[in-house]
Structure 1
Amino acid sequence: MGSPLGDFIRTTRDSIQPQSLGLPDHGRRRSPGLRRSDLAARAGISVEYLTRIEQGRDRNPSVVVVNALADALSLNSSERDHLRYLTKITGGACPTHTRPAPPRREVRPSVLETLRLLEPGIAMVTNRLGDVLAHTSGYESVTCGTGLLDTDTPNLTRYVFTDPRARTFFTDWDAVADEQAFDLWLGPSVANSEWFTTELARVAGPDFTRRLNRHVVPRRGALRLSHPSGYELQLLRETLELPSDAQQLIVLLPADDSTAQAVDRLRRGSHGRLRVIS
């Protein structure tokens, strides 16, 4: 049985072309990317030890080893953060067979007041599992008709992977799907994330599982939406982390004049209000 840390190291190694690191190309081989022996040599560890880490048989590598692997894989800062996070949860996670208590859904009054001050802008409060906990009328106007907010407990991740309308609504659906899958690794707790991914995998299928285990660190560029009314929207994203609540306040801003005009028309046609979803 593997581990999140081992999966990340292996998939990253498989994605690296030896020539990009100044290593010789050994010709055709059964698996793509960097050889395990080459990575071990660059990190200064044995092949046998690297194999144990990748296969999940060693779940507590030292900080020195983790940093050496990050250097050997030429990881950027975001990828290094993810590697350290996976090291932490791999070493500390305990398997569980019972459903844990759900993450908190309450939004603090001060956060709600901040959301009210953002009206009629486009903003929402969510957590890493994708639960939409509160949103402005502006957010409702740009998602109206897409099905995203149709349920009593809307969840963006579930919507992206299980609602066919999401593939039309999100112009760059592949990038959004990678983002939502990646964020599950940063969920409110390891236990909650594992339970949610297990439940979602049953209905979302192998594409969800594949994206989850690729550990692709998203770039999070502008969000492009194809609204059912015919408007093409391009929105910039600003995120305020609320670490004590394991939540995020996300604000979406028009990236150009045409988007601003379209958003204004959508607002005039909407009669929404600030909504807290309990």
Structure 2
Amino acid sequence: MGSPLGDFVRARRDSIQPASLGLPVHGRRRSPGLRRSELAARAGISVEYLTRIEQGRDRNPSVSVVNALADALSLDLAEREHLRYLAKITGGECTAHARPVPAARDVRPTVLTTLRLLEPGLAVVTNRLGDLLARTSGYDAVLGGTGLLDGDAPNLTRYVFTDPRARSLLPDWEAVADELAFDLWRGPSVENSAWLTAELSAAAGPGFTRRLNRHQVPQRGPLRLRHPVGGELTLLRETLELSADAQQLVVLLPADQATAEAVERLRHAARGGLRAIS
């Protein structure tokens, strides 16, 4: 049986072209990327030890080994953070013993006050599971007719993977799906992530589980929408981490004049106030 840490190391090893690291390409390779012997040599560990890590038989590598693997794989800052996180949860065997429970949906009053200051802009309080916990009227005006906000407990991740309307709304659906699957690893808690992962694994199938286990750190660019009324919208995303609450405040800003004008038309068409869900 593997482990999240081993899966990530193996996936990154397979994705690296030897020539990019100045390694000679000799002989026939059974799989793409680096051989275990090449990665082990770069990290200064034995092939046997690397094999145990990749296969999940060693779940407690030292900090120095984790850092050596990060260097050997030429990981960027976000990938290094993910590697350290996976080493932590793998070492604690959290994923094996997590009891799935939904995340709390409460938002602190001071956060709600901050959100009100952003009216009539587009802003939402969410968590890494994709739960939409509170939002401005501007967010409602733009996303209200897309299906995302249907129901009493809207969730972006569930919407993207299970609602056919998401593929029409999001021209970059593949990239957004990659982001949301990756973020589940950093949910409010392992138990919360396990709760939604179990649901989506059954409802969304391989398109979801393949992304979840790939551990590909996403590149987060502008959010493009093909709005059913507003047309093509491009929104820049600014995210404020509310680390004490395991939540995020996300502000969406028009990236161009055409988007700004379309957003303004949608806001005028739908008047409302702050929406909090708890």
| TM-score with structure 2 setting the length | 0.97
Matching residue of 1:197? 197
Matching residue of 1:74? 74
Letter in structure 2 aligned against 1:99: P
Counting only pairs closer than 5 Å after superposition, residues 114-263 of structure 1 correspond to structure 2 as 114-263=114-263
Matching residue of 1:56? 56
Residues 195-222 of structure 1 show CA distances to partners (whole Å, capped at 9, x for unaligned) of 3212211001101111111111111111
Question: Offset of 1:99 from its aligned partner?
Answer: 3.1
Matching residue of 1:274? 274
Letter in structure 1 aligned against 2:130: G
The secondary structure found in structure 2 opposite 1:249 is strand
The secondary structure found in structure 2 opposite 1:184 is helix
Matching residue of 1:35? 35
Matching residue of 1:96? 97
Q: In 2, are the aligned partners of 1:160 and 1:177 still within 8 Å (CA)? A: yes
Moved >2 Å (runs of 4+): 26-30, 93-100
Residues 39-58 of structure 1 show CA distances to partners (whole Å, capped at 9, x for unaligned) of 00110100110000001111
Residues 217-256 of structure 1 show CA distances to partners (whole Å, capped at 9, x for unaligned) of 1111111111011511111111111111111000000111
Question: Offset of 1:98 from its aligned partner?
Answer: 4.0
Letter in structure 2 aligned against 1:236: L
CA–CA separation in structure 2 for the residues paired with 1:181 and 1:47? 31
Question: Offset of 1:151 from its aligned partner?
Answer: 1.4
CA–CA separation in structure 1 for the residues paired with 2:236 and 2:125? 16
Residues 146-203 of structure 1 show CA distances to partners (whole Å, capped at 9, x for unaligned) of 1000111100000011111111111211110011011001001112212321221100
Q: Which runs of 5+ in 2 are unaligned?
A: none
Identity of aligned residues (%): 75
Change in 2 beyond 3 A, CA 1:8/1:97: closer
Question: Offset of 1:32 from its aligned partner?
Answer: 1.2
Question: Offset of 1:106 from its aligned partner?
Answer: 0.6
The secondary structure found in structure 2 opposite 1:153 is coil
CA–CA separation in structure 2 for the residues paired with 1:96 and 1:66? 23
CA–CA separation in structure 1 for the residues paired with 2:24 and 2:151? 55
Q: In 1, are the aligned partners of 2:230 and 2:266 still within 8 Å (CA)? A: no
Question: Offset of 1:24 from its aligned partner?
Answer: 1.4
The secondary structure found in structure 2 opposite 1:107 is coil
Matching residue of 2:12? 12
CA–CA separation in structure 2 for the residues paired with 1:86 and 1:97? 15
CA–CA separation in structure 2 for the residues paired with 1:264 and 1:50? 55
| TM-score with structure 1 setting the length | 0.97
Question: Offset of 1:28 from its aligned partner?
Answer: 3.9
Question: Offset of 1:272 from its aligned partner?
Answer: 2.8
Question: Offset of 1:264 from its aligned partner?
Answer: 0.3
CA–CA separation in structure 2 for the residues paired with 1:42 and 1:107? 46
The secondary structure found in structure 2 opposite 1:134 is strand
Q: In 2, are the aligned partners of 1:233 and 1:259 still within 8 Å (CA)? A: yes
CA–CA separation in structure 2 for the residues paired with 1:157 and 1:184? 9
Q: In 2, are the aligned partners of 1:223 and 1:237 still within 8 Å (CA)? A: yes
Q: In 2, are the aligned partners of 1:93 and 1:190 still within 8 Å (CA)? A: no
Query: What is the CA RMSD across the aligned residues, in angstroms?
Result: 1.2
Letter in structure 1 aligned against 2:120: P
CA–CA separation in structure 1 for the residues paired with 2:69 and 2:100? 34
The secondary structure found in structure 1 opposite 2:213 is helix
Matching residue of 2:84? 84
CA–CA separation in structure 1 for the residues paired with 2:240 and 2:110? 14
Q: Which segment drifts farther, 186-195 or 41-50?
A: 186-195
Question: Offset of 1:25 from its aligned partner?
Answer: 1.4
Q: Which segment drifts farther, 90-99 or 19-28?
A: 90-99
